[in-house]
Amino acid sequence: MPARATKVDVTRAQQIWADYQANHDISDRIGQAVGIDPSSGRIWFGKDIVDIGEQMKAEGLDIPLYFVRAGRDYYYRKGGRR
C-alpha cells in the first residue's frame, strides 16, 4: 500500500515550492506538473503526473510526491463552475 502524505509532508512540500519560486523564474513552466519530494526537497517538472512518474521510474525511484501545477497552488481542482 502506498504511503499517504501527512500534514507535515504537505506543509514542507509547499514551503519547498514557495522557496523554489522565490529563487527561480518559472514563467516558461506555467501549466506544467510539478512533483515535490518533501523529504529531499527535490523537484521534478513534466507535462503531467504520469510524465513525472516515468522520470522517477527511469531513475529507479518510488517515493511519494506532492503535486501542483506551475502557476497554481493546486494540481487539479474537482468540481465545476456554478
Q: What is the mean pLDDT of each run of 10 residues along the chain (82 residues)?
A: 63 95 96 95 96 96 93 74 60
pLDDT tens string 60-76: 999 899 999 999 887 77
Nearest alpha-carbon partner for 68 in 29, 28, 22, 39: 29
According to the model, what pLDDT value does residue 75 have?
79
CB of 64 within 8 A of CB of 10?
Answer: no
Q: pTM (2 decimals)? A: 0.81
What pLDDT sits at residue 1? 45
User: Strands 66-69, 43-46: parallel, antiparallel or unpaired by DSSP?
Assistant: unpaired
